[in-house]
Amino acid sequence: MATEVLMPRQGQSVESCIIVGWKVKEGDKVAEGQALCEVETDKATFEVPAPVAGTVLGIFYEAGADVPVLKVIAAIGAPGEDVSGLRPTTAGVRNQESEISKPVAVPVTEVKKPTPAPRLLTPENSASAEFDLIIIGAGPGGYVMAERAGHHGKKVLLIEKQYLGGVCLNWGCIPTKTLLNSAKHYVHAKEAPEFGVTTGEVKFDLTKAMAWKNEVIETLRAGIAFMMKKNKVTVVNGEAKLLGPRKVQVGDKVYEGTNVVIATGSSPFVPPIPGAKQPHVMTSTEILSIDTMPKTLTVIGGGVIGVEFASFFSSLGVQVNVIEMLEEIIPFMDREQAKEFRKALKGKVEFNLGCKVTAIDGHTVKYTTKAGEEKSIQADIVLMSVGRVPNLAGMGFEEAGLDFDRRGIKVDEQQRTNLPDVYAIGDVTGKSQLAHSATRMGEVALNTICGQRDRFRMNAIPWAVYSMPEVAGCGYTEEQAQAAGHKVKTASLPLTMSGRFLAENGKRGPGSVKVIKDADTDVLLGVHMVGAGCSEMIYGAAVMIEAELRVKDIREIVFPHPTIGEVIRDTMFQL
């Protein structure tokens, strides 16, 4: 019986591969392992080997066809065997007599709908526009894209209504991590005697910590301004309005660009809870500028932002309560690790899970427990951190005919919107609210504009919570992998296995690594970590998952010793 040659599976994110060319033709004799054809994904080019020795009895797709993984692309067997039953039955099936050199129709139902050809920045179509690219919003989506495009010689206009760096630099990633670092110094100084270092009285100076945070922001802002200048990006300070494809208005001036990119980001969501509009009820923006340390803080929302602030304030002795509507904090975390993480914060932060805030009456936060009990907590400051909403209003999007809903602007995998030559990237798309996702989306959009094949993939985007302890992850959690239909195998190890971790964090330091693989293919699906320093290690997992490495390949990678990262490698041997 003839042997089927399948389009190989290249990991979880690859749904199809393009046949670049055949190296054999029907009737050829082939040895086992001999290359039959060359195929490519958007990440790699590789050869498909003959699974057995024999005669090539059928080649079912022509070069150029985009074929779903695990489809039969060819058949090998003994001369004269009938392989008609293996041929795709759809229109345009290759005739058995046809030769590889003859033009062959591709089975139409197997081929992906072609995406519209990217508009190239040629002198012809950009001649009438002042700019090759107009970018609205200078967050990590917009300014990095501007820098990269400028570096490639494009004429770029970057419009920003507030500060270069967007939320990430001014009210997000950088200020929070700067303050968390000050808190980490405080905690380390207090714990120093355990490690043989005697200190005097340890105090936290909020004014100095805030001043350092502001200095970090200003230094980095100046760095962005320098990079814009270096890459010849024109920066305009003002509020932009989209007039339609190619046209953007700022004040009374209209700019024309061959392509327009919307990178307007997101803002904190404030739910309509009675009492939410009081000065001591703050979002992440206002709390980053307080001048007096509160004695008590109630955080509404147990997501990443809420937990980072809870960790910061609790480590400085503030009494912190978190009220979360769901049954667990950080909803996208592996459930096992979320529990471990919450346990590690116990004693410092009081978690009220499955509870709903009903009103804020002065400094009293009223809430209902999952058992229906009415309760209340006193708080000097209330932090509202229940999510962020895309910035869509007042920018002419509706009038321009842009397709969006409350979650964000609708885009395809190349970040194209429904309007020709208009792209959207970052938080405003609602796809992923992370700075590095925004940057990657900008790179994908730029590559698309420049005619290069690229797409935004979500499966290997790492994330981290920079609390004490830190948590980080990349790829599927155990629950997500199961829901996606994988036969899952997992393994976990404590970080105290690492001599380095033990030396630096002590025996009590909470921490673990959990790895998840597909039991059938051995491909790594996810890595999840709790413990000091894991935000700096998780990119390694992103590399492994993006490259779709099998666990057996990862075991061959050597990690330096002594490092905490070695535990990731050790866990691979437990699978």
Ligand X SMILES: Cc1cc2nc3c(=O)[nH]c(=O)nc-3n(C[C@H](O)[C@H](O)[C@H](O)COP(=O)(O)OP(=O)(O)OC[C@H]3O[C@@H](n4cnc5c(N)ncnc54)[C@H](O)[C@@H]3O)c2cc1C
Q: By CB under 6 A, which span of 137-145, 208-216, 325-333, 511-519 interacts with ligand X?
A: 137-145
Question: What are the φ and ψ backbone dihedral angles of 149, each rounded to 5 degrees?
Answer: -65, -40
* Residue 160 binds ligand X (CB under 6 A): yes
CA within 13 Å, CB half, 145: 41
Q: By CB under 6 A, which span of 40-48, 139-147, 214-222, 399-407 interacts with ligand X?
A: 139-147
Q: By CB under 6 A, which span of 82-90, 131-139, 328-336, 539-547 interacts with ligand X?
A: 131-139
Q: By CB under 6 A, which span of 156-164, 199-207, 215-223, 542-550 interacts with ligand X?
A: 156-164
CB of 93 to ligand X, least distance (A): 46
Is 253 in a helix, a strand, or coil? strand
Which of 319, 337, 417, 433 binds ligand X (CB under 6 A)? It is 433
Which of 138, 382, 383, 384 binds ligand X (CB under 6 A)? It is 138
* Residue 305 binds ligand X (CB under 6 A): yes
Pairing assessment for the beta strands 72-77 and 29-30 based on DSSP bridges: unpaired
C-alpha–C-alpha distance, residues 142 and 75, integer Å: 49
Question: What are the φ and ψ backbone dihedral angles of 162, each rounded to 5 degrees?
Answer: -120, -100
Q: Output the DSSP codes for 338-363.
A: HHHHHHHHTTTEEEEET-EEEEEETT
Residue closer to ligand X, measured from CB, 461 or 551: 461
Residues paired with 531 in a beta bridge: none
Contact residues for 238 (Cβ-Cβ < 8 A; gap 6+): 159, 161, 250, 251
- In one-letter notation, the amino acid at residue 321 is N
Contact residues for 159 (Cβ-Cβ < 8 A; gap 6+): 134, 135, 136, 137, 138, 235, 236, 237, 238, 240, 248, 250, 255
CA neighbor of 472 nearest in space, from 509, 427, 513: 513
Which of 58, 107, 137, 462 binds ligand X (CB under 6 A)? It is 137
Pairing assessment for the beta strands 35-40 and 3-6 based on DSSP bridges: unpaired
Q: Which of 188, 436, 486, 561 is catalytic?
A: 561
Size of residue set near ligand X by CB under 6 A: 36
Spell 506-518 as b/e; 16+ CB within 10 A means b: eeebbbbbbbbbb
The DSSP symbol for 112 reads P
Q: By CB under 6 A, which span of 14-22, 257-265, 322-330, 499-507 interacts with ligand X?
A: 257-265
Residue closer to ligand X, measured from CB, 73 or 307: 307
Q: By CB under 6 A, which span of 74-82, 140-148, 199-207, 324-332 interacts with ligand X?
A: 140-148
Residues paired with 156 in a beta bridge: 133
Which of 11, 77, 139, 540 binds ligand X (CB under 6 A)? It is 139
* Residue 391 binds ligand X (CB under 6 A): yes
* Residue 135 binds ligand X (CB under 6 A): no
Per-residue binder mask for ligand X (CB under 6 A), 481-520, x = binder: ----------------------------------------
* Residue 306 binds ligand X (CB under 6 A): no
CB of 92 to ligand X, least distance (A): 43
CB of 563 to ligand X, least distance (A): 23
Residue closer to ligand X, measured from CB, 64 or 401: 401
C-alpha–C-alpha distance, residues 440 and 140, integer Å: 9
CB-CB contact of 61 with 19 (8 Å): yes
The DSSP symbol for 60 reads -
Which of 294, 302, 303, 426 binds ligand X (CB under 6 A)? It is 426
* Residue 286 binds ligand X (CB under 6 A): no
CB of 137 to ligand X, least distance (A): 3
CB-CB contact of 400 with 417 (8 Å): no
Residues 393-422 that bind ligand X (CB under 6 A): 395
CA neighbor of 152 nearest in space, from 121, 130, 123, 128: 121
Q: By CB under 6 A, which span of 70-78, 134-142, 149-157, 374-382 interacts with ligand X?
A: 134-142
Per-residue binder mask for ligand X (CB under 6 A), 161-200, x = binder: xx---xxx--xxx--x------------------------
CA neighbor of 300 nearest in space, from 342, 340, 358, 339: 358
State the virtual CA torsion across 89, 95, 101, 104 in degrees, nearest 10. -40
Which of 334, 427, 548, 566 binds ligand X (CB under 6 A)? It is 427
CB of 271 to ligand X, least distance (A): 16
Residue closer to ligand X, measured from CB, 54 or 142: 142
CB-CB contact of 472 with 462 (8 Å): yes
Which of 348, 410, 436, 550 binds ligand X (CB under 6 A)? It is 436
* Residue 159 binds ligand X (CB under 6 A): yes
CB of 496 to ligand X, least distance (A): 26
* Residue 297 binds ligand X (CB under 6 A): no
**486 catalytic, yes or no?**
no
* Residue 301 binds ligand X (CB under 6 A): no
State the virtual CA torsion across 248, 250, 251, 255 in degrees, nearest 10. -60
Residues paired with 250 in a beta bridge: 240, 253
Pairing assessment for the beta strands 422-424 and 253-262 based on DSSP bridges: parallel
Catalytic residue numbers read 561
- Chain residues that interact with ligand X, rule: CB under 6 A: 136-142, 159-162, 166-168, 171-173, 176, 239-240, 263-266, 284, 305, 391, 395, 426-428, 433-436, 438
